[in-house]
Amino acid sequence: MRIYLDENKKELAAVICNKCRRELTVENGILKEGCFCGDSRFGYFSNKDGKKHFFDLCEECYDKMIKGFAIPVEEEEVNELM
Ligand SMILES: [Zn+2]
């Protein structure tokens, strides 16, 4: 989950892993470690009709989650790192 300093969600105050509750490192409004940002909109054909889900996972919890996948994640090199 993300905590913002302002209502417009522009100034990031904290990011907390939804799985383990660990607070990730945020400095001056910038997230300084690996994080999986879940952002899904469930449409008409789902059982969550019209709902949006948001969550954050720290890198450790993300790694545990993808270890359970039957098919490994697709991976490619990214040249422009943030
Ligand atoms: Zn975690």
pLDDT reported for residue 37: 97
Provide mean pLDDT across the span 54-82: 93
Domain ranges, ordered by start, for the chain? 2-67
More confident residue, 31 or 50: 31
In the reported structure, the alpha carbon of residue 9 is separated from the centroid of ligand 1 by a whole-number distance in angstroms of: 22
pLDDT greater than 90 at residue 49 = no
pLDDT reported for residue 78: 87
In the reported structure, the alpha carbon of residue 34 is separated from the centroid of ligand 1 by a whole-number distance in angstroms of: 11
Are the C-beta atoms of 9 and 33 separated by less than 8 Å? no
pLDDT reported for residue 82: 61
In the reported structure, the alpha carbon of residue 54 is separated from the centroid of ligand 1 by a whole-number distance in angstroms of: 15
In the reported structure, the alpha carbon of residue 82 is separated from the centroid of ligand 1 by a whole-number distance in angstroms of: 21
In the reported structure, the alpha carbon of residue 44 is separated from the centroid of ligand 1 by a whole-number distance in angstroms of: 31
pLDDT tens for each residue of 10-27: 899 999 999 999 999 999
Percent of the chain with pLDDT over 90: 82
Helix, coil or strand: residue 3: strand
pTM (two decimals): 0.86
Of the CA atoms within 13 Å of residue 35, those in its CB half-sphere come to: 25
